[in-house]
Amino acid sequence: MFSFRTPFFLAAMATGVVACGAQAPPGTTATSPGSTDAPLTAHVDTTPLQAAESLRVLDEEAGSTTASATTNDAGPVGIVPITPGFNASIGTTSQHDSASGWSSILTPNLAYRFNRHFSANVGVPVYTYINIYGIISRVPATRTAAEVDTYGFRTHKFLLGDTDLAGAFEAHPAFFDYNVTTTLGLPTGDDDNGLGAGQVTYNINNHFEKPIGSYFTPDLELGIGDSPNLDDTRVRKSYIDVGTNAHFQLGVNLQLPFNISFSSDAYEDLPLSTQTVTSTTTNGKKGKQLKVVTTTSSKSVGEDNGFINTLDIPLSRHVTLSGFYNRSLRNKIDTGGFSLTFLLRAPPRGRELVH
């Protein structure tokens, strides 16, 4: 499960080399097992300039962890690897919204970083538990009475949502960090139950941020697409919106002690064309009394604004506990919850790689 770059693997290799009598590489010194001069160690002779250059290269490879790893809102730092290579993760989320109650979502994710500029990731939500509003019982028609349907929430299990396929480019000019993420929504979701768009959707998001010191990072996002559901996949809305829209977001990220990260953002999703909204609740969108999985088309129905707060607490290098709260001001919906994210490949500690 763990990468072969772990200290245990390196230590085993070093022990095997010395045990076989291998000579120390040029520029190093080593003592034999029978020597009483010093414990068995290997020392690399480096100058301060060489050490500084090694740290600079590592920092360049890692780039900005906030810009490179979190701006496509896939989850905590590390889902998209900071250094080149592959990573896999799985997130388990329990969330509650004021429209449909509790739901549980399992999200496996695969990611690959090609170099310090390009990365890609793909994930698909699996709704292991969700309440969907619809017909729960039906009384057949008779000679004297029409058919009568009773509506309410019914629990469904193991339904798929749309797959998110994202590619990102990042750059780090002198005055700010920049990331552009293009996301495709692939129609794998159960659109009969309002969990999918029923078509391919897209979103292009430009993220700018400027660290001020080591703890405070303001950020700005400008984007366009045909589904705001792709803007932030941490929070799963109780409706699917399809139609050209612009996305604006302004916020701040705080780096707290023990590698804890907190972010708070205000956002606006502004429709630019007719929107098609599919909801599974009676109040998935303000003013829309929906009895079943219903589609409504208009320009204004897709507008949304509000704020979202997230808190990431690393429990270990491979496990992160997250909490989030989203308040939709326009639709008057509150969504909050928590998640655990498990990483196959932990984020590297750059300074530990150079001794």
Number of Cβ atoms within 10 Å of the Cβ of 322: 20
Local structure of 125: helix, strand or coil: coil
Residue that wins the pLDDT comparison between 199 and 48: 199
How far is Cα 20 from Cα 30, in angstroms, rounded to an integer? Answer: 13
Residue 189 exposed, middle or buried by CB count within 10 Å (0-12, 13-18, 19+): buried
Residue 330 lies in a domain: yes
Model pLDDT, residue 119: 96
Conformational region of residue 73, where left means phi above 0, alpha means psi within -120 to 50, and beta covers everything else: left
For the ranges 16-20, 145-149, 216-220, 228-232, the maximum mean pLDDT occurs at 216-220
User: Is there a single domain that holds both residue 253 and residue 341?
Assistant: yes
User: Is there a single domain that holds both residue 32 and residue 55?
Assistant: no
For the ranges 60-69, 100-109, 131-140, the maximum mean pLDDT occurs at 100-109
User: Is there a single domain that holds both residue 168 and residue 308?
Assistant: yes
DSSP string, 40-90: S-EEE---HHHHHHHHHHHHHHH--HHHHHSTT-SSSTTSS-SSSEEEEEE
User: Is there a single domain that holds both residue 69 and residue 144?
Assistant: yes
| Domain enclosing residue 32, as ranges | 7-45
User: Is there a single domain that holds both residue 124 and residue 200?
Assistant: yes
How far is Cα 63 from Cα 177, in angstroms, rounded to an integer? Answer: 9
Q: What is the mean pLDDT of the chain?
A: 79
Res. 46: pLDDT tops 70: no
Residue 288 pLDDT grade (very low, low, confident, very high; cuts 50, 70, 90): very low
Is 113:82 a contact under the CB 8 Å cutoff?
A: yes
Residue 190 lies in a domain: yes
Residue 1 lies in a domain: no
Residue that wins the pLDDT comparison between 190 and 61: 190
CATH number for 292: 2.40.160.40
Res. 52: pLDDT tops 80: no
User: Is there a single domain that holds both residue 33 and residue 55?
Assistant: no
Res. 44: pLDDT tops 70: no
Half-sphere exposure of 73 (CA within 13 A, CB side): 26
Task: Tell me the pLDDT tens digit for each residue of 309-348.
Answer: 999 999 999 999 999 999 999 888 999 999 999 999 998 8
Outline where DSSP puts E strands in the chain. 28-30, 42-44, 85-97, 101-113, 118-123, 126-139, 148-156, 159-160, 163-171, 177-186, 201-209, 216-225, 239-242, 245-255, 261-271, 275-279, 294-298, 304-314, 319-328, 333-343
User: Is there a single domain that holds both residue 99 and residue 148?
Assistant: yes
Beta pairing partners, 165: 122, 184
Res. 298: pLDDT tops 80: no
CA dihedral 272, 278, 284, 288 (to 10 degrees): 80
Number of Cβ atoms within 10 Å of the Cβ of 104: 15
Kindly state the helix (H) or strand (E) to which residue 15 belongs, with its residue range. helix 7-19
Kindly state the helix (H) or strand (E) to which residue 10 belongs, with its residue range. helix 7-19
User: Is there a single domain that holds both residue 209 and residue 328?
Assistant: yes
b/e 9-44 (16+ beta carbons within 10 angstroms → b): eeeeeeeeebeeeeeeeeeeebeeeeeeeeeeeeee
User: Is there a single domain that holds both residue 37 and residue 57?
Assistant: no
How far is Cα 229 from Cα 200, in angstroms, rounded to an integer? Answer: 12
In the block, which residue shows the tokens 């098609």?
Answer: 276
Domain count, the chain: 2
Classify the C-alpha dihedral 229-230-231-235 as positive or negative. Answer: positive
Number of Cβ atoms within 10 Å of the Cβ of 72: 29
Model pLDDT, residue 293: 42
For the ranges 133-137, 237-241, 252-256, 278-282, the maximum mean pLDDT occurs at 252-256
Task: Tell me the pLDDT tens digit for each residue of 176-204.
Answer: 999 999 999 999 998 878 888 889 999 99
Residue 57 lies in a domain: yes
Is 125:131 a contact under the CB 8 Å cutoff?
A: no
